[in-house]
Structures are given as C-alpha cells and as structure tokens.
C-alpha cells in the first residue's frame, strides 16, 4: 500500500505528541505489521519528538516540529525536522539495558526499532532525523 506523503507540523508541547501517536497509529495500521511492531514504531517516533522537545528545545513549548511520513510498498519513512540545538550522537554512551532508571533509552529504542536512522543538518541549518522501517511485501 502506498500513500501520498503526510506532513504534520506541531508546536513543541508534550501534549501534542498524542496527535502524532494517533496519526502514526492510523498509518502503521495500513502496513500489515503486527500490533507489537506497530506499537514499537509509534514509540520510536514519540521518543524522537520527546527528545527534540526536551534536549533540542530545552522544553521551550513554542517551537515547531515538522514531520513527513511516507508509506511505500516496502518502506515506511519518517523524517522529523526541528530548529533546536544540534544533536551529536557520538558522545552518547550506551549503557547496559538491564540498568533500570528512567529516561535515556530513546536513542536505544529508535535504533532497535528502525532499520535505518540518520541524523543530519539541512543546508538551512535545521536538524533532521530520518527513520526508515522496511516492510514485508
């Protein structure tokens, strides 16, 4: 199943993540993925947006987050663009997944769930995270 790209633009308030989860739930329901896999994709997108709000925008709820979601026959691609503080994933240290404490698992979850994750800076100076999930055809 293929859909026209879906563009969402939200203000960087955590309450707006509910709308993103709702849209993502509708989109992943069309992929044929299991309920568990669909839930993991929704969680990964939620984590990426939460990280933007918390770390990129330092909880400034008056900033913008733009998402583009593309569903093709074999691929689900989500691109998220923000104008927050640049993200450098190299200094992030991995920790033992058994080390239980709140927070700090967003990047781990995103990397475990998605098949491809790219962090870039656009020519205009925006942060972009592109996440790709391969779908069974």
**pLDDT digits over 58-67, tens only?**
999 999 999 9
- Provide the whole-model pTM: 0.87
Give pLDDT, residue 19. 96
The owner of tokens 């093709």 is 72
Confidence category of residue 88, pLDDT binned at 50, 70, 90: low
Q: Looking at the predicted structure, is the pLDDT value of residue 92 above 70?
A: no
Tell me if 14 sits within 8 A of 50, measured CB to CB: yes
Q: Please name the residues in contact with 29: beta carbons below 8 A apart, sequence gap of 6 or more.
A: 38
Percentage of residues of the chain with pLDDT beyond 90: 74
Q: Looking at the predicted structure, is the pLDDT value of residue 47 above 80?
A: yes
- In 10 A of CB 29, how many CB atoms? 11
Give pLDDT, residue 100. 47
Q: Look at the domain 6-134 and name its fold.
A: Heat Shock Protein 90 (3.30.565)
Tell me if 62 sits within 8 A of 15, measured CB to CB: no
**pLDDT digits over 24-41, tens only?**
999 999 998 999 999 999
Give pLDDT, residue 86. 82
What span, in angstroms and rounded, lies between the C-alpha atoms of 120 and 98? Answer: 30
């Amino acid at each position: 199943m293929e859909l026209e790209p879906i563009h969402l633009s939200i203000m960087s308030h955590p309450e707006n993540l509910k709308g993103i989860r709702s849209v993502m739930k509708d989109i992943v329901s069309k992929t044929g993925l299991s309920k568990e896999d669909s839930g993991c994709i929704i969680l990964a997108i939620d984590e990426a947006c939460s990280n933007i709000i918390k770390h990129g925008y330092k909880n400034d709820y008056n900033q913008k987050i733009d998402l583009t979601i593309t569903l093709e026959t074999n691929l689900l691609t989500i691109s998220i663009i923000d104008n927050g503080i640049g993200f450098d994933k190299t200094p992030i240290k991995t920790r033992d997944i058994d080390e239980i404490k709140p927070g700090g698992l967003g990047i781990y979850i995103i990397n475990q769930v998605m098949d491809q994750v790219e962090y870039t800076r656009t020519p205009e100076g925006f942060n972009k995270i592109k996440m790709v999930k391969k779908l069974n055809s």
